[in-house]
Amino acid sequence: MSSEFIQLRDIRYCSPGGVALCLDVLGPASTTPLATVVRIDGCPGWGPGDRSSAQLPFANPALASAGFLTVAISVRHSGQAVFPAQLHDIQAALSWLRRNPLGLPVDPDRIGIWGQSAGGHLAALAGLTASPRTTAADVHAVVTISGPSDLTRPGGAMRIDRPSPVTALVGGDLEQLPAASPVTHVSAGAPPFLIIHGTADETVPYEQAEALHRALLAVGARSRLLPIAGGPHDLRGDQYAVADEAARFFQESLG
């Protein structure tokens, strides 16, 4: 990225239970507030991982080039804390952005969130669950990619009859699965959604995307389902097309 871009790394936004959670910022240098998009990627939240994959060229850099201020966040994984800790971490990051202690060009009224796989699940959940610390909408647009929406419905790698990433997320307490499922929290006040999913996803069945899409439409919320024909879970080979669709969606939804 050129000198016309803001690039900040390893900014601590909170430390729940002594776990330092950080974020990275990438976007145009601007004297006016910009639509801001938060990225949650893959393993973070469900298993060990980091936020570095958000800096792949088809992730936050693609949206930064399209004019968005982008933020990649870390959240506690299930080995550090079980649900709803992950949701609380995302809400803390959103609260940090609204406080804006570094004077970044954040527009608090135009915040989107996106993620893939476990990150897509958490993005959807954050978009559908208001923070108890504010009466304003935390999230104004959501893109979920290859993300689970109903953890009570097994399939692919989503197993609940034996130890799995799903059961680890809730610490083995299966009664928490509905609360951890985005479909449970769908309401007429939901922000616009773009749901992207491969029809041949071997890890999270495509039916998970259909279930969330139907639930959103049923309450009158705005939702677009974009199936990737024959696409696997990681959508390898389609990542740049996915980024283009996400950028167009956020431009339409956030302005």
Domain ranges, ordered by start, for the chain:
5-254
- pLDDT tens track for 173-200: 999 999 999 999 999 999 999 999 999 9
Is the Cα dihedral 49, 52, 57, 63 positive or negative? positive
User: Which residue, chain included where needed, has tokens 């985005």?
Assistant: 182
pLDDT band at 42; cut points 50, 70, 90: low
**Mean pLDDT of the region 14-37:** 96
- pLDDT tens track for 100-137: 999 999 999 999 999 999 999 999 999 999 755 543 46
**Mean pLDDT of the region 27-52:** 85
Task: Identify the pLDDT of residue 45.
Answer: 58
What percent of the chain lies above the pLDDT cut of 70? 93
What lies within 8 Å, CB to CB, of 243 at 6+ separation is: 58, 59, 62, 63
How many helices (H) and strands (E) are present in the chain, helices listed first?
6, 8
Judge whether residue 72 has pLDDT over 50.
Answer: yes
Q: Which fold has domain 5-254?
A: Rossmann fold (3.40.50)
Task: Identify the pLDDT of residue 136.
Answer: 47
Query: HSE-up of 153 (CA within 13 Å, CB side)?
Result: 17
Task: Identify the pLDDT of residue 134.
Answer: 47
Give long-range contacts, CB 8 A cutoff, 24+ apart: 88-93.
88/16, 89/14, 89/16, 89/21, 90/38, 90/40, 90/122, 90/125, 90/126, 91/126, 91/131, 91/133, 91/138, 92/13, 92/14, 92/16, 92/21, 93/13, 93/14, 93/21, 93/23, 93/38
Q: Residue 197: name the closest of 149, 128, 131, 145 by CA.
A: 145
Judge whether residue 151 has pLDDT over 80.
Answer: yes
Specify the 3-state DSSP secondary structure of 93: helix
